[in-house]
Structure 1
């Protein structure tokens, strides 16, 4: 009975893990990079000079930010302002383009606009992780369903490995036979980072679960009431009066920010939204583990205080905790690195699971077309995705700064390289030369990754005024990835002899 249960759990773990793992590996990889989304954006906009100590916006800079915001809104964009923080010490006037939040960047001291290049930045990885760049409905639904599948795979994996878990954990054989080495990597990352894996998967699934469930009739009724109330609150006189209010420059923001901090009892505010009649200043996400949307509202016409919205109660606090744990915006730099390392380990866990799936079935099903297709897709996921990411970094440095539709061109390079990697991997697998396919793509990864720092230096786009500890760390990490790929290539060629 027990062996039958383990057999069924093994089948469930293998197939659910493989079919979901092809996409989940990419989701976890981009989510890991999204931990440092702000820092990646800074690397991809080297024209923006980062001054480590300038984390407070001056009244002059806020005035220029308000003017920039108004100009953006007059062009039909729903623009808002983000204030300087320890991770991103600049003022940004952002709008949502359907995938990322992009917009002008201002100096927090004098408010001048930086001539920053158009780029998706680290927001690209956040959007891919969150919605596969397929929109807030389709993409988020797919990611949520895959999160549920991952929870199933985790449970079945624990069921089949609980007995052998401890002996396999204390003996790691990275240079052993291929199945043994891959299994050890899979088990060790799975056991050591199991709490993080469960936490990040559960919270990520819970955040979006409501989007795939039918709404309760009571919630629909309440939403209708709120919509009607908002319609009643619109300025009298129709669109003309609303447009006139939007054309008015907002009152000075510095006193409003100071009052908002006092009313919210915090020393950090980060986000300023502008409606036709209101200015809403939100508590910073970095202020607490509980990621809230507490805010203070002011009149857009004259800046007088309208009200304070603070979410309390057990349900609200639970939701805030779930969001806070998943997004990790409260973190210190040490905790951010722990999230990054844990996310990388979970990516290795899923990628090694894909390879194990193929190794176990190569003998009996190696000549079948479905196996060949699966092997090509695994290669595109395991190696093709990092190649595409390196291609995105290369495109950021090589594309002309003033090129029209530059942001789209960068992302097109990413997806074109990924599609080419997939086609290349499937072709070599169908031709029964998968090892050559792996070697070629690992070689390409090593060259592109090790070339990024050299390209960054040769392009001379960076300023030596940058805070080196936050700016050049990406060059170092990418170079280490290239060295790892080169090391893997030597091992692969040695075993193929």
Structure 2
């Protein structure tokens, strides 16, 4: 670490980017996929997909659901009924102490429907993105690497003299220069996104990752939670049930009143989605009708709720979620936290912003990948020896780690979707098997990268990931009654989008693998495009 200020920043950018880039690539790739976690989950549960969605008699559905819950969960302290929607034609029932698979009910007949397959769904990518499926330990690891990313971003800005000119410069087929141009162009393109997504990602977990401030001003995190509106939830949960009467509320009559109030408050744009009954069959039972959650740049999770006395059916109150920061009485920390959280989670702007975040996330992953490859190509061309007589071994290990971090993860991500279709539907704890398959595939691919010359490993793994992507629609057609043409015919764009996206990614990966095979077969150009290793 010698030379002037810029040279020192270049050293910091290079080595922080290398040691942190492997995991940050995974964080950015899974973060990009998590933007569309709902369509992915929808595709991963084909049992919920229907050819047609007939009009549902909601009062009848409520009566059927109430009767079923009274027979199977009379002693539960809380019932919840999820009404049919775009996600599923069935009614979903939940109650305290529920065990086993989800309860799905035909809204017309009241008959039980087969449960949808147990799956981790798109939330697998969310959970890996912020905690690596490791709980708070994973949160701390990701937070540390995110801080390192901010260091790499600042040092990268200092390093480049021609910062904006780099964005308009790309020299193809120039080996190291091409990788540098790609790294610079992608970095400049998504630089504001990288700063915002990194900072807001840290802020989301500030009570846990920066506990000193909480301990300085509050006795514990419960006191902080109370100030931010949590006392209301604890008070509602501790409300006495009263004596047991066995009487059940008249849900259809209350539903009509709640829907009329919601239509008036939302100008007719919303419908009741959930019905919750607290202490059913008791004197102090309460019924709550909830509209859909709305996300925008201010409100993180805002929904309208209407409360009724279960015994008399009398209307009690209407409220928004307490976490709504549009309320002028909301604490300032809650307002700031909700805005930053919405920025990180893309809870505003609709589909256009979702695609912007998705493409920016992929570009961020591209910044990490090109930086890792640039490190290897630069040292191969200049024959640097930062590790003395062990330099060749260290560089070769880094080459193999690059393959394991980038190409192997791509195989694991698409392999996760394959596992959803290949694992038995009735398998216990099936979602855990899917997650286990993801890590097992990643480990197997990483071991392949460890024992295969890097140049060959890149071609094989990128090509393998591409084949798995383009074959995903075929696998789906073989293992389920659905296929891409049927999705498109019935207008199921969420499921169709997953398969079209897989085809697009597969085509890009296969093109890359073919290009590398061609370039690596041309002799003199091979070392400049390869990431190292013997061919």
Q: TM-score range by the shorter chain?
A: 0.7 to 0.9
Trace 1:432-451 onto structure 2 (pairs within 5 A): 433-451=453-471
| CA distance 1:32–1:68, shift in 2 (3 Å) | farther
2:309 aligned with 1:305:
no
Q: For 1:114 and 1:400, locate their aligned partners in 2 and report how far apart those are by CA, in whole Å.
A: 15
- The whole-number CA distance in structure 2 between the counterparts of 1:344 and 1:72 is 47
Judged with a 3 Å threshold, the aligned counterparts in structure 2 of structure 1 residues 367 and 19 are, in CA distance, closer, same or farther, namely closer
**Aligned 1:95-244 pairs, distance under 5 A:** 103-104=102-103, 113=113, 115-135=115-135, 137-161=136-160, 163-173=161-171, 175-214=172-211, 215-216=214-215, 217-218=217-218, 220=220, 222=223, 230=234, 234-236=238-240
| TM-score normalised by structure 2 residue count | 0.76
Task: Could you tell me which runs of 5 or more consecutive residues in structure 1 were left unpaired when the two chains were aligned.
Answer: 97-101
Shift of 1:376: 2.3
Alignment of structure 1 residues 472-483 onto 2, 5 Å: 472-483=496-507
Secondary structure at 1:296's aligned position in 2? Answer: strand
Partner of residue 524, structure 2: none
Q: Can you list the C-alpha shifts for 1:102-129, whole angstroms capped at 9, x where unaligned?
A: 9456678887746422211111111111
Return the offset for 1:420: 0.9
Does 2:514 match 1:490? yes
TM-score in terms of structure 1 length: 0.81
Determine whether 1:352 maps to 2:376: no
| Alignment partner, residue 31 of structure 1 | 31
Equivalent in the alignment of 1:99: none
- In structure 2, the CA distance between the partners of 1:494 and 1:477, relative to structure 1 (3 Å rule), is same
Check 1:396–1:71 CA distance in 2 against 1; reply closer, same or farther (3 A cut): farther
In the alignment, what sits opposite 1:289?
297
Question: Max radius of gyration: which structure?
Answer: 2
Contact 2:46 2:480 in 1 (8 A): no
Aligned pairs, how many? 479
Aligned equivalent of 2:481, options 455, 461, 472: 461
Q: Match of 1:164, SS?
A: coil
Matched, 1:395 2:446: no
1:58/1:492 CA distance change after superposition, 3 Å: same
- In terms of fraction of residues, the more helix-rich structure is 1
Deviations 1:370-396 (A, max 9, x none): 433333222112111110111111111
Out of 355, 358, 368, the residue aligned to residue 340 of structure 1 is 358
User: What does residue 8 of structure 1 align with?
Assistant: 8
Q: Distance in 1 between matches of 2:94 and 2:144?
A: 29
Given that 1:27 and 1:129 are in contact with CA atoms closer than 8 Å, whether structure 2 keeps it comes out as yes
SS in 2 for 1:479: helix
1:72 deviates by 9.3
- CA-to-partner distance for each residue in 1:63-108, whole Å, 9 max, x for gaps? 556677889978999985666666x465674989xxxxx9456678
Summarize deviations over 1:195-239 as a string: whole Å, max 9, x none: 2222222222211122212223425273698779947973558xx
- Determine the C-alpha separation between the residues in 1 that align with 2:340 and 2:184: 27
Partner of 2:47: helix, strand, or coil?
coil
Structure 2 gaps of 5+ residues are 96-100, 280-284, 522-535
In 2, are the aligned partners of 1:44 and 1:121 still within 8 Å (CA)?
A: yes
Mean CA deviation greater in 389-398 or 468-477 = 468-477
Instruction: Specify which of 408, 419, 422 is matched with residue 443 of structure 2.
Output: 419
Structure 1 residues 156-194: Cα deviation after superposition (integer angstroms, max 9, x where no partner): 111112x22233221223x32222222222111111122
Moved more, 294-303 or 138-147: 294-303
CA contact (8 A) 1:16 1:153 kept: yes
Residue 42 of structure 1, CA deviation: 1.2
Cross-structure match for 2:384: 364
Q: Provide the rounded CA distance (Å) in 2 between the counterparts of 1:358 and 1:67.
A: 66
Cα-Cα RMSD: 4.0
Cα 1:74/1:160, change in 2 over 3 Å: farther
Change (3 A) 1:263 1:10: farther
Change (3 A) 1:477 1:228: closer
- Which stretch of structure 1 is more off in the superposition, 358-367 or 388-397? 358-367
Q: In 2 relative to 1, CA 233–286 (structure 1 residues): closer, same or farther, beyond 3 Å?
A: closer
Which of 341, 344, 355 is the matching residue for 1:326? 344
